[in-house]
Structure 1
Amino acid sequence: MTASADTSTVKPLNFRRYKDGDNKVRSWQKEIFDAGHSHKCPTYIQSTPPCQGSCPAGEDIRGYLNIVRGIEKPPAGMNWQEYAFRRLTEANPFPSVMGRVCPAPCESGCNRNQVEDFVGINSVEHFLGDYAVQNKLAFNKPAQPSGKSVAVIGGGPAGLSAAYQLALKGHAVTLFDERAELGGMMRYGIPGFRTPRDILDAEIQRILDLGIETRMNCRIGTNITMAQIRADFDAVFLGLGAQAGRALPVDGADAPNCVTATAFLKAFNDGRLRHVGKRIVVVGGGDTSIDVATVARRLGHIDKIHESERPENIIGGQLAHDVAEASVRQGADVTLTSIFAVDKMQASRHEVEHAQSEGITIRGGMAPIGVIRDETGRATALRIIQCEAKIVSGRLEIKNIAGTEEDIPADLIVSAIGQAVDFTGLEEFNNGKGAINNDKNYQVQGQPGCFVGGDVIRPHLLTTAIGHGAIAADGIDRFLQNEPLEKRPKIDVHAFDLKRKMLDKGYAFTEASEPMRGTCNSTAAIHNYDDRSDRYVISHKELFLGHFPFVARNRRSMVSLTAAEALNNFQERLQPLLEAQAVAEAKRCMSCGLCFECDNCVVYCPQVAVFKVPKSKSTTGRYVDTNYNKCIGCHICADVCPTGYIQMGLGD
């Protein structure tokens, strides 16, 4: 490609890097700067930022942060808070809940970690979610029903996510759940001081308001057969969850006062469990074990209880009386053990620190090897041993250290080492390993029209289940339209859509019928632009990090409690950002892989080849353009592009 419209006097360029017989590496610098023509000129490449690539729900994080910070403007008649909320909830209908409890793998992947500290993505999500609840924002119902019906089995995050996405596509959805209330692990597996029930209820109701029907206290396989479900509906989504806990794999673990974390938390969230005993030992190391330990610390113990009021009996389903309410509540000694060292535990770092501040003893590098029982069969202690645990080739290896055994006295032992699926009545789906086999579209293998998602595939994060539900809903939609289930993209996320943005702003354009070079005079949709979001995550090495000064993170306030203050304190600890803080935090986003209108390329271009697009034609992602008659391929624009949006890739 030449820098002049007259190509008659320009010698042809040879792009072969080596000639026959060459054995030395040579620089292309001479050719690149040869007279008035260049091998490489700037192109505009949209990539997925690592925050989105790390988000199990595939949120368009960069997109809603750019809205909050003011880069992308909302349409007329809508404020930025609502616009950002609607962009966020294209992937995740639970921003207020997830903004509180998601361990935020997006923040671990954030490129801002290379400057000073990650962007507080979770805190901005929290702010937007609370704004939507407080202002009663509703989802927009589809204009036209599809005439198709779908049964969603399980009202946890996966089922609710699938139901939400399917309802938006116009399908009639009926949601079945064996419990009295929806929410799954969000309600029954996480304590209310982490997921306030009014917030959870509001976000669930917003989904139901799309016209979703519910059948509560109805277990498929018991109250209604799977055959009847298949006969009554055009497709099925299985969001069964994994709400059966795993017992400790040691001798004596069948003692009545050895219980699972899921049973413990369900009894607490049901309002039945009101005290736990004097000495509690929790075995785990993940966020669930922290939840159990902090709940136990708040419940404490009472001195005189009836046999029927023992915690294990209440957890087992016996009816609780009012004795705990009338008694003086006293503190409980809570110990949490993990096979991993404390700094290597899977639980969120801040949750571990707050548990310790509340007086919970955390002992890392300890493995359970037995339960000590008295003559009645009740557990009196957990026997542990020092160990070294590590992951080798994806498998856990534990090496116990002989001679380091000890007993931790216990009135109640809680196992938080994993979850299991209850397949009663649905044995046909069990793959023999306690899970359901599925393809990349989350369709059950060998069962067209039957899809699956959430912990029934593999117990993981709530956000992961939400992502499963959304992808499965796409598959169900295609199935109902008799379309083939196409291969999912390598990077399966919601991404900024420049063409949609241009249409929203009323810009007319024509589609290029074939790949084009040097399109600065073309009417094709986007000048030398390629959206690689479905296949490429941009790293910090492709950014101009020198553009970003140190800016301290805007942190949410967390109420820290002492051991005494934690007793009987069930108030929420995490406080949302103020509006100004949320905006300031969003401005720390480096908009990796998409222009954020800094003007560097325009200012530093020595040929004045890069220019701003006229306001009548510009929009987010289409802020600058290049005149290729002036460009000499010096790549300064790419060097100073903070976001890596400009790459040197165009050439003959």
Structure 2
Amino acid sequence: MGDKMTPMPFSQLMNWVRQEQGKQESVFGVYRPYRADESHNRELFGRTLETPIGPAAGPHTQLAQNIVAAYYAGSRFFELKTVQILDGDDLPVEKPCIRAEDECYNCEWSTELYVPQAQEEYIKAWFLLSFMAKEYGLGQMDGFQFNMSVGYDLEGIKSPKVNSFIDSMMDAKDTETFHSCRQYLLEHVEQFEYVTKEDIESISSRICNSVTLSTLHGCPPQEIERIAVYLIEEKGLNTFIKCNPTLLGYEFARNTLDQMGYDYISFGEFHFLDDLQYEDAIPMLKRLMALANNRRLEFGVKLTNTFPVDVKNKELPSQEMYMSGKSLFPLSMALAARLSREFDGALRISFSGGADYHNIKDITDAGIWPVTVATTLLKPGGYQRLLQMAEKTRETGVSFQGVDADKALTLAQDSISDSHYKKALKLLPDRKMKKTVPLLDCYTAPCQEACPIHQDITTYLKLSGQGNYEEAMEVIAEKNPLPFITGSICAHNCMNMCTRNHYESPVNIRGAKLLCAEKGYEEYRKTIQKGELSGKKTAIIGGGPAGLSAAYFLTKCGMPATILEKSGKLGGVVQNIIPDFRISGDVIGHDIDLCLSYGAEVRLNTEITDLAALKEEGFEFIILAAGASEPGILNLKTGETMNALHFLHEYKETDKNVNIGKAVAVIGGGNTAMDTARAAVRTNGVKEVSLVYRRTKRYMPADEEELLLAMQDGVKFMELLSPAELVNGQLICNVMKLAAADESGRRAVTETEETVSIPADTVIAAVGEGIPKEFYIKNGIELTSRGRVLVNEETLETSVPGVYAVGDGLYGPGTVVEAIRDARMAAESILGRKAARDFDITSSDPKKLYGRRGILKETLSEQEENTRCLGCKSICENCAEVCPNRANLALFVPGFTKHQILHVDYLCNECGNCRSFCPYDSAPYLDKFTLFANEADLNNSKNQGFAVTDRKNGTFLLKYMGSLYTGKAGEAVDAVPEGLLKIVETVINDYDYLLG
């Protein structure tokens, strides 16, 4: 069917709800229901409203099952997907149409169904919610409200199609759908536990008594007013008018977004000029408010419509897209504050524009409700996020006393600097594993996959949370002999990949590791028993992280190793270069002791220049861990620069007494540049430190936390500057400008004719170090055309047999954890076996893990971080959670310990949202095993999947690896994996409601 979703009959929806709720106590993948408390009921439009929140007119109110899922999680106000005269196949929607990784963008507008189909979906949902309220004890059968959304002009709204929709939603008693739903419930009433015949007959046919008017950008104010008057006078509807952020004016919007880091978002001024103007809006709203009052109806505004911006980097397949989410919140709230002040709080405001758990209490406390959401539901946790929001609204008053303009203004102003809304300084990291999602058992821990040494993160997090630090240290030390160093300064790719990034912030994995080291190290060290070392000897050149780790893995496995270090102490760059404000020497000492605890020999002040001599001494294997020892050089037209590592070494050796003058300029944008600048700030005599980089902060390679620390230390960031020459204490720089972004999102720079001068007594270049090429060449080691060591990628053995290269000396400056990875690879090659075990004692209790899904919780203490871990290795299901239509399902399949993901083709409109949050470099709606409604749909798709051809006999047609197979449930099919056949059999036997 491609991107065409098929509505389910009411009977199928009822079977699905009842079977899933009966077996799993979940409904459409929502595992924890919200149960209303009458003491928190509100009144709106003369009707009861159990919570003031719900889904906005968008992907979450397009199909009946979407509305049901939202209700089960806590929604009670539903702004139905907009209907208009252009519908169905006539509606042009480019696909994919949603991107919600951070702030959200979409290029959809009204329902993709035909208007009569949309009407049927809403009536079916009305009955389903009424039934569920009583049957499952969720609240009153009339404790929720549906709000129509119609557009986009008066002619279309008056058309027979849309007019009939409005009339039918106001009173559905004469519709076939209303009668068929009612009749189905009556015919099955004996199967229900709590719903009675009287309950069914009491379900009101008056579904909607309110409407939200949505008009296109550029709609004249006279047209907006005419439509509103029609809806109030002719239809007698409580009416909200959806307003645009453009009312704030171009300069306000541009300045606000720029302040918050959204300077890359492009939009023209024409929308602000064409849309409704503030000076026209106020008198119009006052007239409509008076009209509604005279008719004893309620009138208000819906804030806000999504914000139109330009497609610049192929975000979506359209020329223009609509922004929503956290970047829209300060604009929407600023408009709310302004209108509230204008109307002395009397104007009712329905809010939508970046509302979520973090702000829902403050929004409703300001008297702004109902509140509808979309972006937060498009992220992992999905509909389940509504439960936490609904519970939060219980903390505020329930009666409408007007909007508090001061509170709204405070919310708007505070949001500009609030980390929940600001854009991160850096580009978002790529959170995709470079793998295709498998058809079966796709559950994986992204944190562990991202870790170069595949640390058993979820295991030691669990042990840490239990206070079992010694046992946690055993897990950590199995693969990581430098827990203090990596617990302090690791680049933490694991945290970059953590699914909690899509909630609020990653689990503090690095901090938890350091806690385990601090609390478990001493006891763990007592358990280490040094065995006898035997076998062939290995010489390790270099006593930094890579060399220490290699010695650890070799001696731990019983093979002798000798570290040959040219300086007088071990620790390499970490010991000699990284400033003590990053990591203390005592901490480094603990890791050195651990690495030597199995008996490695150490020779300090020993420089090796000839590998042949080591062979003659009896070393059969040599590991080169000498680091990237060739200093990086920045050549200026005039003047000299100091090497960053040389400066940092002097800084530590002289206790901050390096003679570099009062003004210092640091060139570079990586972590070493940040260390250098921060050390320079602390150097005695220095008054001013500037950090110069060719691009902006967003494109600096340094970790964001290092950037922030440098900024806190007072380092002046001089962006878009390229150093040219140092003359008389002034660094002359060419001014650069950003060019268009490439496919990766990185923007090139071009030089302008402008120059600027920066005070600089000393210029320090942090431009990267090089590998010791001369040493390699002298010892007969082959280099690649790029000047790197030629190695076997699986063993890291060089062109000289028995000689291995690891760490910074192999690929250039890297991270400590990458050095550990290399060391273990080389050690395992020498040992001829694995040097570390895998641990997996993560929780497999689904109820416990599902209890964490959809719950936003800020970073806690390191000991409690385990409670924030989502247990992705046992339960991921991001694709199921973020799908508005429930087109990705988690099935319990006998024979598997974990749920299996099934994609349901007929429910999918290919919005693409699941692609954004699948940890694999895949799109589940294209790449997961798929259930098709019929043989024709299967043949028209490239997806691997199946269609049941005879439910009674259990026969099916299955597509796998490009071939078609016929089969029968419970029987083997040659060339088709048993697991896929198990999924087919399970659908037929246990999930028959999927088959209609």
Tell me the TM-score normalized by structure 1. Answer: 0.62
Of residues 743, 748, 760 in structure 2, which corresponds to 1:410? 760
Of residues 462, 467, 471 in structure 1, which corresponds to 2:825? 471
With over 3 angstroms needed to count, the CA separation of the structure-2 counterparts of 1:493 and 1:551, relative to structure 1, is farther
Q: How does 1:617-636 map to 2 (within 5 A)?
A: none
Structure 2 residue 470 is the aligned partner of structure 1 residue 82: yes
Q: How does 1:189-208 map to 2 (within 5 A)?
A: 189-208=577-596
Is the 8 Å Cα contact of residues 242 and 421 (structure 1) preserved in structure 2?
A: yes
With over 3 angstroms needed to count, the CA separation of the structure-2 counterparts of 1:357 and 1:395, relative to structure 1, is closer
Partner of 2:322: none
Measure how far apart 1:635 and its partner are: 8.7
Q: Which runs of 5+ in 1 are unaligned?
A: 1-24, 34-42, 71-78, 302-330, 487-491, 502-525, 527-542, 555-580, 597-623, 637-642
Structure 2 residue 481 is the aligned partner of structure 1 residue 93: yes
Which deviates more from structure 2 when the two are superposed, residues 585-594 or residues 241-250?
Answer: 241-250
With over 3 angstroms needed to count, the CA separation of the structure-2 counterparts of 1:551 and 1:396, relative to structure 1, is closer
Provide the rounded CA distance (Å) in 2 between the counterparts of 1:391 and 1:179.
45
Measure how far apart 1:544 and its partner are: 6.4
Q: How does 1:423-442 map to 2 (within 5 A)?
A: 423-427=773-777, 428-429=780-781, 431=783, 433-442=786-795
With over 3 angstroms needed to count, the CA separation of the structure-2 counterparts of 1:650 and 1:60, relative to structure 1, is farther
Provide the rounded CA distance (Å) in 1 between the counterparts of 2:480 and 2:732.
41
Could you say which structure has the greater relative contact order, defined with CA pairs below 8 angstroms and 6 or more residues apart? 1
Q: How does 1:206-355 map to 2 (within 5 A)?
A: 206-221=594-609, 225-231=610-616, 232-252=618-638, 255=640, 258-271=641-654, 274-275=657-658, 276-301=660-685, 331-355=686-710
Provide the rounded CA distance (Å) in 1 between the counterparts of 2:901 and 2:631.
61
With over 3 angstroms needed to count, the CA separation of the structure-2 counterparts of 1:104 and 1:219, relative to structure 1, is same
Is the 8 Å Cα contact of residues 85 and 129 (structure 1) preserved in structure 2?
A: yes
Of residues 801, 804, 807 in structure 2, which corresponds to 1:448? 801
Provide the rounded CA distance (Å) in 2 between the counterparts of 1:473 and 1:133.
24
With over 3 angstroms needed to count, the CA separation of the structure-2 counterparts of 1:393 and 1:449, relative to structure 1, is farther
Partner of 1:37: none
Measure how far apart 1:127 and its partner are: 0.7
Provide the rounded CA distance (Å) in 2 between the counterparts of 1:183 and 1:446.
28
Q: How does 1:578-597 map to 2 (within 5 A)?
A: 581-594=861-874
Which deviates more from structure 2 when the two are superposed, residues 156-165 or residues 236-245?
Answer: 236-245
With over 3 angstroms needed to count, the CA separation of the structure-2 counterparts of 1:95 and 1:147, relative to structure 1, is same
Partner of 2:453: 57
1:326-371 Cα distance to aligned partner (Å, 9 max, x none): xxxxx42100011221133222222222222222101222222x22
One-letter code aligned to 2:814: H
Is the 8 Å Cα contact of residues 119 and 588 (structure 1) preserved in structure 2?
A: yes
Measure how far apart 1:207 and its partner are: 1.4
One-letter code aligned to 1:56: P
State the SS of the aligned residue for 2:478.
coil
One-letter code aligned to 1:443: L
State the SS of the aligned residue for 1:421.
coil
1:524-554 Cα distance to aligned partner (Å, 9 max, x none): xx9xxxxxxxxxxxxxxxx969834122112
Measure how far apart 1:625 and its partner are: 11
One-letter code aligned to 1:239: A
Provide the rounded CA distance (Å) in 1 between the counterparts of 2:740 and 2:452.
24
Partner of 1:151: 539
The alignment yields a C-alpha RMSD, in angstroms, of 4.0
1:564-603 Cα distance to aligned partner (Å, 9 max, x none): xxxxxxxxxxxxxxxxx2331112111212379xxxxxxx
Partner of 1:547: 853
Measure how far apart 1:134 and its partner are: 5.6
Partner of 2:22: none
Is the 8 Å Cα contact of residues 695 and 749 (structure 2) preserved in structure 1?
A: no
1:293-339 Cα distance to aligned partner (Å, 9 max, x none): 111111131xxxxxxxxxxxxxxxxxxxxxxxxxxxxx421000112
Tell me the TM-score normalized by structure 2. Answer: 0.42
Partner of 2:726: 372
One-letter code aligned to 2:855: P
Measure how far apart 1:123 and its partner are: 0.9
Provide the rounded CA distance (Å) in 1 between the counterparts of 2:528 and 2:601.
17
Is the 8 Å Cα contact of residues 470 and 524 (structure 2) preserved in structure 1?
A: no
One-letter code aligned to 2:643: T
Provide the rounded CA distance (Å) in 2 between the counterparts of 1:179 and 1:195.
20
Structure 2 residue 528 is the aligned partner of structure 1 residue 140: yes
Q: Which runs of 5+ in 2 are unaligned?
A: 1-5, 17-438, 877-891, 904-918, 921-928, 930-978, 986-996
Is the 8 Å Cα contact of residues 438 and 452 (structure 1) preserved in structure 2?
A: yes
**Richer in helix (by share):** 2
Is the 8 Å Cα contact of residues 133 and 199 (structure 1) preserved in structure 2?
A: no
State the SS of the aligned residue for 2:569.
coil
Measure how far apart 1:389 and its partner are: 7.0
State the SS of the aligned residue for 2:858.
coil
Measure how far apart 1:129 and its partner are: 1.7
Aligned residues: 455
With over 3 angstroms needed to count, the CA separation of the structure-2 counterparts of 1:142 and 1:133, relative to structure 1, is closer
Of residues 356, 377, 383 in structure 1, which corresponds to 2:711? 356
Measure how far apart 1:193 and its partner are: 1.5
Q: How does 1:2-13 map to 2 (within 5 A)?
A: none
Partner of 1:520: none
